[in-house]
Chains A and B, each alone.
Chain A
């Protein structure tokens, strides 16, 4: 359903942030994109959403269900955003408007694309909030962001992205800002609602362990390029590229003998060159 061919994103005169990236995503499939800060994974996500700043130059092709997204006007793109594709953001502390109740923010996307009626939007919002695991969706809907915890906010942000049951959901490090126990809850909820919606998912993270919980296949990005791709199994157990091998080594500290020095990604990269 999502087909990316030769995607390149450049900002000003600097070298491209994303270089010649090609990806395929089937309906219902979940693909993890792993890479460090600056590897181009967020730029790839924003390019798909059409949310890059105006001075960014995007070339190549992004097709969603056959529709070419590159070169679409902002108005046309607005019609798709929140409806055919949506995004779960990284920082639950800042991704919600402090002057609006959680319910109104979830309702915004619904009323834009589905039904302007306030009452029916409210019903949809309450259902969605219940789907992301709130026992008291009415109270949450009437709460302002500062009255909610980080994990609660992240679930509200997830509800915002999924209220219209989009075909494609892009998650940009949705659990990075949360502590580990809350992270587990949010991942479980995300897993459930993605399944329920039958949505495809691009899951962006720097955390191999998180990706392996949610995704069947993985690509690894380094300096704007895809350096490794395969099923989560393959990449986890038989990484080909030294950078990917380094990532796996740093993620699997449980395999390490006590007393040995902790591995770094640089060890593997140096060994390769």
Chain B
């Protein structure tokens, strides 16, 4: 059952990645060429999923949209992990009173929604893919700090850390060689869950016109564009919606599956 979750999630993620990679070398039509076909054509041949209001092939645009989704996800999760993991490790060594203060501050930051921060940044710096990525990444940092710190604290009480200290291993080396590898699985789970959230946030921002610019194919923007024609051509909103749902579901299932798979206690129960 738990294995199945990992497999289905993995298949969905692999499909999205394959779509993005494929779009670099081949799409049935140019995903950015306006007026290359009939406007708002119904699904069929040669436009498998029809065309949008500008006559762009929807299937090609869905393929290319996977690129934006993954791009934003990778950079946002990368920012969050690169900042959050070292900070999480560092706070594990703070004296109790200092770490309490830091963690309460992080709780406040954690409560601040990623979308709100993104809208704020977009308002100040103008909406762009970069703004969206940075905003989503920064808003996800607290999640990584908390996960890393919690894992690090339990690892620090382990005998092998005491043994490493008894060998004279300095603190930074203990953090890098003993603590980090032993919390890596927690970070992996957090990364895949955050990836799903980042894709969703990117879609939402692009839908609002605050993310990916109009010229770059993006599922969120497709959804926004299709809204105008929702009554006459509802399928144009269904395709990007399905793509977003599949990608988010896939990464979430991988995250859940990994957590259950890597946690021996949960594995025994399952």
Structural contact, A97 and B162, CB atoms closer than 8 A: no
Q: Which of B158, B159, B165, B182 contacts A81 (CB 8 A)?
A: B165
Task: Count how many chain A residues have C-beta atoms less than 8 Å from C-beta atoms of the other chain.
Answer: 30
As a 0/1 sequence over residues 81 to 117 of chain A, the CB contacts with chain B under 8 angstroms (1 = contact) are 1110011011100111111100001001100110000
Q: Is A49 an interface residue (CB 8 A)?
A: yes
Structural contact, B162 and A51, CB atoms closer than 8 A: yes
Q: Is B44 an interface residue (CB 8 A)?
A: no
Q: Is B181 an interface residue (CB 8 A)?
A: yes
Given contacts A49-B166, A97-B164, A98-B182, 17 further A-B contacts (CB under 8 A): A51-B165, A78-B168, A81-B165, A82-B167, A82-B168, A82-B169, A86-B167, A87-B166, A89-B162, A94-B158, A95-B162, A97-B182, A99-B178, A108-B164, A108-B177, A157-B163, A160-B167
Q: Is A80 an interface residue (CB 8 A)?
A: yes
Q: Is A136 an interface residue (CB 8 A)?
A: no
- Shortest Cβ distance from residue A51 to the other chain B in the assembled complex, whole angstroms: 6
Q: Is B95 an interface residue (CB 8 A)?
A: yes
CA distance A112 to B165 in the complex (A): 11
The chain A residues found within 8 Å of chain B, CB to CB, are 49, 51, 54, 75, 78-83, 86-87, 89-91, 94-100, 105, 108-109, 112-113, 157, 160-161
CA distance A86 to B165 in the complex (A): 10
Q: Is B160 an interface residue (CB 8 A)?
A: yes
18 contacts between A and B (CB under 8 A): A54-B95, A80-B168, A81-B165, A81-B166, A82-B169, A89-B162, A89-B163, A90-B159, A96-B163, A98-B160, A99-B182, A100-B178, A100-B181, A112-B167, A112-B168, A112-B169, A112-B173, A161-B167
Structural contact, A78 and B170, CB atoms closer than 8 A: yes
Task: Count how many chain B residues have C-beta atoms less than 8 Å from C-beta atoms of the other chain.
Answer: 19
Closest to B155 in A: A97
CA distance A220 to B33 in the complex (A): 87
- Shortest Cβ distance from residue B92 to the other chain A in the assembled complex, whole angstroms: 14
A97 proximity list for chain B (CB < 8 A): 160, 164, 177-178, 181-182
- Shortest Cβ distance from residue A67 to the other chain B in the assembled complex, whole angstroms: 15
CA distance A78 to B164 in the complex (A): 10
Q: Which of A79, A99, A157 contacts B181 (CB 8 A)?
A: A99
A83 proximity list for chain B (CB < 8 A): 168
